[in-house]
Amino acid sequence: MARTGMRPSGEKTFFAPKKAASRITPGGTVSSQRLFETTDSNTGDEKSGVGRSKHENQESAADLEQSRQLYFGILKPLSASKSTTTEINNALAEIGLTAKPEKIFESIYGFTIELNSKQYAILKNHKFVASLEKDRSMPLMEPIVDGKAADSFNQSEPEVRLEAVIINSGSANQSATSRTIYRDSLAKTGDILPYGVRAVWGGTDISSLGNAGLGTYAFVIDSGILDTTGDLLLNRGWSRSWINGESPFADGNGHGTHVAGTIGALANGRGVVGVAPGAEIVSLKVFDSNGGGASYSTIIEAVNYATKTILCNNLDRTKCVINLSLGGSYSLGLDQAIKNAANQGIQFTIAAGNNGMDVDAFSPASAGDHPYVYTVSAVDSSYRMAAFSNWDDSYLGDDVDLAAPGVGIYSYYKGGKLEYLSGTSMAAPHVAGLLLMGGVRSGLSTTAIPGRVADLFAITALSSIGAGNQLNSSDLMLEGGSSNDTLLGRSGNDTL
């Protein structure tokens, strides 16, 4: 059962993985009848068609043909000397299947393959296969207007979606609390400094360092990113679209552009400034402008592509992040694909989801028990958990790592206009930006909704932000209680 209150304080451990969550994987009863045309001498399984008429056998063959579907699979970890292509082909040959993989995701040990129901039953139980699931669609959940919370996912129809967002007419609630509350303000460079950017930087105006995010890379798997804002540094060489007829820089939905602005909008005196201003943004477009067009396997393919790009170009992995502001029902395969990339030092930020539910039922958010995977819940400017935000407790492992601003976030949207949106989709890119700029740590406590567990607030891991720019007493956040108020400092010599 969930507990109301805070998770224990402390920072995320980078090199010691948290306890892996134990889950029951989705599935159903499958036939034990074998595909082979001869009786298995070891098991005694009856060969296909024995004791049945020719007409019955023809019907069975027709049924099998109709049962053919596309599956995505993840292999168990491989030794450095073995390739995904070799292992999956060896597995297929070993069990006598003539089916061949349609795509191989070499960097994360994944593949897609078209199988009938009997072939699926055989392959999913092979010793090399960690997971094998039917592919399914990933439609966009429509944005929610007027501040209404997102509807829950229909558990009978597992889908992965762009996380719904809430369109607000103004910025986040600014009511007073004992913590420092930041408002959208004017940055030193003349940009708008969104309250969330300032909050995760501990009150510092990051624009004072100029485009300090230059030389870092954010891979945004989303609905595309507009190239018309004039406020984003886009990598045209590595960006890619999986949507026919739509470039990675088309974003009729606006979701991906909003995310990108929060991560890396330039400090250039126009529009907004991001958490890592000047970060190079790689647009990996998996959703079309209407919010459809994707599947679980598309997301996995995009993760593989980003991972391969980072590895093949020998990028500093501490200066790269893959952001996934999307989610759907639980998938062992999708979670494992992300963890396989994370095992190679790739950092991920993932939206916790907008269902107001325990995150264990959703992917890829439930992959947050990996030390390089940061699942992020949403809070408002008063550090209160958003009503729509998913959460997690310690039962089966705690997958939600941090909370970040996700209510009334100002960034670029449809047509390049600036707009206030709310959602955990808006919270995750704040953490993505911090990871690019030297790391993230657990900061202030946040206020839980009764019956849920809140997360500690995400804040920069840096004790300084550059030569001559030490974080000092003017940047302190105050957290009050009743008779035991404390001052949280950073440098060891802060005074009240």
Shortest CA distance to 419 belongs to which of 428, 427, 404, 409?
409
* 483-492 burial code (b ≥16 CB/10 A, e <16): eeeeeebbee
With residue 403 as reference, give the H or E element that holds it.
Answer: strand 400-405
> Distance between CA 50 and CA 37 in Å, rounded?
9
- Judge whether 14 and 435 are in contact, CB under 8 Å: no
d(CA 309, CA 469): 34
Asked if 305 and 313 touch (Cβ cutoff 8 Å), the reply is no
Q: Which residues are paired to 161 by β-bridges?
A: 327
Kindly report the backbone phi and psi dihedral angles of residue 407, in degrees, each rounded to the nearest multiple of 5, phi listed first: -125, 125
The helix/strand/coil state of 257 is: helix
- Active-site annotation, residues: 222, 255, 425
Q: Answer yes or no: are the C-beta atoms of 57 and 51 closer than 8 Å.
A: no
β-partners of residue 441 are: 459
CB 179 within 8 A of CB 478: yes
Cα separation, 321 vs 217, in Å, equals 7
Q: Which two tokens stand for residue 294?
A: 């994707």
Q: Which runs of consecutive H residues, i.e. helices, occur in 14-53?
A: none
- What are the φ and ψ backbone dihedral angles of 59, each rounded to 5 degrees? -65, -40
CA distance linking residue 306 with residue 218, whole number of Å: 10
Cα dihedral sign, 401-403-406-409: negative
Tokens of 487: 């001052």
CA distance 90 to 80: 16
Give the pair of three-digit tokens for residue 308. Answer: 């391969």
- Measuring CA to CA, which residue among 57, 96, 89 is closest to residue 73? 89
Rounded to the nearest 5 degrees, what angle is found at the Cα of 145, between the Cα atoms of 384 and 414? 105
d(CA 74, CA 84): 9
